[in-house]
Amino acid sequence: MMSDAVYDSVYTSFKRSIIHTSTYSENGLSMRAGLATTDVLAESNLGERGQRLGQQLRDKPAQRLSRYDMVKDICGLGMMSGIEFRAPRKLRLKILFEALAKIHPAMFGQVLVMRLFRYQSIYSQICGNNFMVLKVAPALVISEAQLNRFLDGIEAVVELMPSSTGFWSEAVGMARRVINVI
């Protein structure tokens, strides 16, 4: 996708229409796009804004989620953050958590992602190398209202974790579906 002005200046003839020959080789258009992106980042102070909002993205959840047993750590750099969870301490929930982990180590993380999406309309992802970490990497142009909406949504889901209904019933339903497939 590009503006008509860019298209007309680059692809003016059939001969020039193949100017982009490979995704992994250099070409003038991608270099211009990279330089233009760098200019926008600098002119809009998006790096500085990302640092400031990223710190809020870690500080606010740390304040709001610290009272919950399963929240282990919140860390990151710039707008890339992670909320790390741990197994519940309550015996009845720990047993359920461990049983689900035996089905698949990512069960907890997937239930977390599903609940955020289904009930809070928040699209998220767990880390591929640690299924207990929710990745948080919003765009540099996120508004503070959107950031607060995310915080409200994650808190609503985390608030369900200490109970045996709500969050865990979703996990049990997922486990039943997995077992029926196997």
pTM: 0.76
Tell me, what's the pLDDT at 26? 62
For the chain, state the CA radius of gyration: 22
CB neighbours of residue 148 within 10 Å: 12
pLDDT of residue 2: 60
Taking the C-alpha atoms of residue 116 and residue 120, their distance in angstroms, rounded to an integer, is 5
Alpha carbon distances (Å) from 71 to 15, 51, 83, 86, 154: 58, 23, 7, 6, 11
- Strand, coil or helix: what is 159? helix
Q: How does residue 182 score in pLDDT terms, banded at 50, 70 and 90? A: low
Contacts of 110 (CB under 8 A, 6+ apart): 104, 126, 174
How far is Cα 92 from Cα 96, in angstroms, rounded to an integer? 7
pLDDT band at 148 (very low <50, low <70, confident <90, very high): very high
Q: What are phi and psi of 143, to 5 degrees?
A: -85, 160
**Which CATH homologous superfamily contains domain 53-181?**
Aspartate Aminotransferase, domain 1 (3.90.1150.10)
- Res. 150 pLDDT band, cuts 50 70 90: very high
